[in-house]
Chains A and B, each alone.
Chain A
Amino acid sequence: MTWISKSTTALGLVLLTHACYSAHEHAALQSYRAASLSSLTTTQSGATSSLPIDIAIETIIATFIVCLGLVSGTSQLRPIQWRVWAGKIEQEGEAGFKNSSGEVEKDFVGNPFRLLESRPGFIDIRKQRREFAAWIKDESAK
């Protein structure tokens, strides 16, 4: 998630918390009024006011902002068609699979069938060592 989406989500959550707290305060105030009214035994109609409309609006807007923040923070969608996905791997390499912070996605494995050609279960380690030693010799001779 990018920092914009994170901050938007955080703002939305703060607003939501504020709205919920306001509603709780309102309910507490209602019950306090009702308790004090009944102790004075007046004949007021005891109309309980409903939740103020601005708290309701704040809740709805807060939810909307949270959704906006979460959706804008999703990573790049990957191709669905096989040939497009395979083409992306071959053509762009790991650069095509970076997430929003610029790092290669953890579950990117490149071409999964590459292992059929490199065959890690059968590696000839002695040959690899010989080739590496030869390469080192070439490099130091240069």
Chain B
Amino acid sequence: MSSSSLLHPPSHLSPATASQLSRQAPSILENSPGAISASVLQSVFSASETQELWTVYENLLLSCLRTHDDESAHLCLGRLVNRFGNDNERIMALKGLLKEATAPDDAALDLVLQEYDQILQVNPVNVPIAKRRAGLLRAMGRTSEAVNALSSLLDMSPTDAEAWAELADLYLAQGLYSQAVFAQEEVLILQPNAWNIHARLGEILLMAAKTSDAPKRLAEALKRFCRSIELCDNYLRGYYGLKLTTQQLLSEPSTRNSKLTESEEWSIPAASTLQKLDTVATEKLAEITRRNLAGEKDWQGYSDAEIAAARELLESHSAATVR
């Protein structure tokens, strides 16, 4: 389902697509206008500036950095700087990114970090630079400092869903499940219709349920996966998570019989409901995998890895029910 055009940020692309994109870099750089003049006369005669031109340059820059094509990356950055100047916050962040990518050793990275700190001293609300600083701290392995940096960024702008998502990911990487769940719920407060974030929170809760507090977390995970399916028809990830959760709940009757003195927020549904949910999830997963693998036209948006995982789950389930 990933779009390979240069109009979208390339982080999620496979390495093969990324290298193909960055190989196009020289031709794109030649064919696109190098300098957009601000004067009216020249803009009439030369190629006009489209909305997508600068997005393309930025994504091309990211692709080239990823594939070690540093020359083209510098060219892209040069054109961006020519257009937007050095004082633009996003441009400063892109420059910092380029320096991070081409830094030869840790001392150079420390220098970059110091530069970020200086910029933030001058202008503490420079959000792109604050994000880059937190990202660099995390990349250097200084996770507690990264958490502090993210927390101060979130104090500054508490409605930044991306920063909350990064914080959740940081906590999850450290194994701090309750904090990760809290941060991910904050993302959902800001973007309540994000079906993939509901599924992600369900996944975090499933992971957390293995360590402690299983009944409450499994019930919550069930609700999250159900919500993600409500928000998106035929959502493979949602059905997969739903099946995993119902299987776990059905296979542990002891957790259900334990007294839950909380309000009905945390009550686990009855076994018949769980069974029905499991059946629905299995049917849907089977339908999606069948249609996708048969090559039906409208069902090709899923990624191959997802479909393979769904097939494995279905096969292990059917093996378990064969007596």
Residue positions of A touching B, CB distance < 8 A: 82-84, 86-96, 104, 106, 108-111, 113-129, 131-133, 135-136
Measured between alpha carbons, how far is A127 from B138 in the docked complex, in Å?
Answer: 11
Q: Collect the chain A residues with CB atoms within 8 Å of residue B128's CB.
A: 121
Q: Collect the chain A residues with CB atoms within 8 Å of residue B97's CB.
A: 123, 125
* B5, A104: Cβ atoms closer than 8 Å: yes
* B301, A128: Cβ atoms closer than 8 Å: no
Interface bits B124-153 vs A (CB < 8 Å: 1, else 0): 000010011011001100000000000000
Q: Collect the chain B residues with CB atoms within 8 Å of residue A124's CB.
A: 135, 138-139
Question: Is residue B66 within 8 Å, beta carbon to beta carbon, of the partner chain?
Answer: yes
* B196, A122: Cβ atoms closer than 8 Å: no
Q: What are 30 A-B contacts defined by CB distance under 8 Å?
A: A82-B231, A83-B233, A84-B233, A86-B233, A87-B233, A87-B234, A89-B301, A90-B235, A90-B302, A94-B301, A95-B297, A106-B52, A108-B3, A110-B2, A111-B196, A113-B191, A114-B12, A116-B191, A119-B166, A121-B128, A121-B162, A121-B166, A122-B131, A123-B11, A124-B135, A128-B11, A128-B65, A129-B65, A132-B67, A136-B15
Which residue of chain A lies nearest to B97 when distances are taken between CB atoms in the complex?
A125
Q: Collect the chain A residues with CB atoms within 8 Å of residue B235's CB.
A: 86-87, 90
- 8 closest A-B pairs by beta carbon, nearest first, are A87-B233, A93-B301, A86-B232, A113-B194, A121-B131, A122-B135, A93-B1, A135-B15
Which residue of chain B lies nearest to A92 when distances are taken between CB atoms in the complex?
B301
Measured between alpha carbons, how far is A109 from B52 in the docked complex, in Å?
Answer: 12
Which residue of chain A lies nearest to B237 when distances are taken between CB atoms in the complex?
A90
Cβ of B186 to closest chain A Cβ, rounded Å: 11
Interface size class of B (residues with CB under 8 A): 35 or more
Q: Collect the chain B residues with CB atoms within 8 Å of residue A96's CB.
A: 298, 301
Q: Collect the chain B residues with CB atoms within 8 Å of residue A136's CB.
A: 15, 19
Pick the contact of A90 from B1, B8, B297 — CB < 8 Å? Answer: B1
Measured between alpha carbons, how far is A20 from B100 in the docked complex, in Å?
Answer: 67
Q: Which residues 1-52 of B have a CB within 8 angstroms of A?
A: 1-3, 5, 7-9, 11-12, 15, 18-19, 52
Question: Is residue B195 within 8 Å, beta carbon to beta carbon, of the partner chain?
Answer: yes
Q: Collect the chain A residues with CB atoms within 8 Å of residue B65's CB.
A: 125, 128-129
* B161, A116: Cβ atoms closer than 8 Å: yes
* A90, B301: Cβ atoms closer than 8 Å: yes
Which residue of chain A lies nearest to B9 when distances are taken between CB atoms in the complex?
A120
Measured between alpha carbons, how far is A73 from B297 in the docked complex, in Å?
Answer: 24
Q: Collect the chain B residues with CB atoms within 8 Å of residue A111's CB.
A: 1, 196
Pick the contact of B298 from A92, A119, A121 — CB < 8 Å? Answer: A92
Interface bits B165-201 vs A (CB < 8 Å: 1, else 0): 1100100000000000000000100010111110010
Q: A86-B232, A127-B139 are in contact. Are A104 and B301 (CB under 8 A)?
A: no
